[in-house]
Amino acid sequence: DAGVTQSPTHLIKTRGQQVTLRCSPKSGHDTVSWYQQALGQGPQFIFQYYEEEERQRGNFPDRFSGHQFPNYSSELNVNALLLGDSALYLCASSRGPGGTGELFFGEGSRLTVL
Amino acid sequence: GENVEQHPSTLSVQEGDSAVIKCTYSDSASNYFPWYKQELGKRPQLIIDIRSNVGEKKDQRIAVTLNKTAKHFSLHITETQPEDSAVYFCAAKGVTPGSARQLTFGSGTQLTVLP
């Protein structure tokens, strides 16, 4: 059983560019959440997708957007990249949008903005 | 919104000793408290969790305690081993419409187990 898979694993962009990160949830999971983890910090919630809709959003600007597809996979898009967007972007999947079910994290996509 | 504070930020213990990491949370309605272990360059992995209707939970060498009145919870690792060396994160999940779908994480504790 493949867990949560993310791509790409590493990427380098320059300020002002746009980036798309991809995530496939663990088998049997229908909910995808995205987190940003800056170096030396805990993950910060960006948003959650369930039934192809954004269900909750953290304190992130509109430059951060996402999408969920019918097969439950998800994309995170970041426009107009800033140096401060450099971080590890973690995708986490779960069964159902709420409750206290375990979150399974992917290995992350490490974004460097120059 | 929810705020989670975690202490200490770094912790060094001798192999075989115990390690304790403490977290406090701000939202008294939070009802789920997981602990994640993250090795360098790896994904966070759940090691133990506790729900608000339970005061303590144990899994082999790992235990978590929850004090809802004081709004704090702790991770206890006994008989530490070098492979326990990693960054540990506590987290809390609320029940209000603005917090029920997200985990709020602490800032992490770098645990080093010295052989």
Tens-place pLDDT, residues B45-63: 999 999 988 899 999 999 9
Q: Is the pLDDT of residue B10 over 80?
A: yes
- Contact indicator for A2, A27 with CB cutoff of 8 Å: yes
Q: A105 pLDDT exceeds 60? A: yes
Q: What is the pLDDT of residues B60-113, one digit of tens each?
A: 999 999 999 999 999 999 999 999 999 999 999 987 777 777 899 999 999 999
At A96 the pLDDT is 77
Q: Is B71 left (phi over 0), alpha (psi -120 to 50) or beta?
A: left
Q: Which position has the token pair 């770094």?
A: B10
A95 at B interface, C-beta within 8 A: no
User: Smallest CA–CA separation between A99 and chain B, in Å?
Assistant: 8
Is A100's pLDDT higher than 70? no
| Pick from B108, B103, B114: nearest CA to A41 | B108
Calpha distance A28→A66 (Å, rounded):
21
Q: Three-state SS for B82? A: helix
**SS3 for A47?**
strand
Q: How confident is the model over A21-62, as pLDDT tens digits?
A: 999 999 999 999 999 999 999 999 999 999 999 999 999 999
List the single residue in B51, B89, B102 with the smallest CB-CB distance to A56.
B102
Comparing CA positions, the residue from B35, B100, B95 lying closest to residue A57 is B100
Tokens of A40: 């030396």
Count of H-run helices and E-run strands, chain B: 0, 11
Work out the end-to-end distance of chain B between its first and last CA atoms, rounded to an integer number of angstroms: 41
Look at residues B60, B4, B11, B51 and name the one whose alpha carbon lies nearest to residue B32: B51
User: What is the interface size between A and B, counted as CB pairs within 8 Å?
Assistant: 57
Share of residues in chain A with pLDDT > 90 (%): 86
A40 touches chain B (CB under 8 A): yes
Beta-ladder partners of A23: A6, A74
Per-residue model confidence (pLDDT) at position A38: 95
pLDDT grade, residue A98 (50/70/90)? low
Q: Is B4 within 8 Å of B24 (Cβ atoms)?
A: yes
- For residues A14 and A112, the answer to whether their CB atoms sit within 8 Å is no
Q: Is the pLDDT of residue B43 over 80?
A: yes
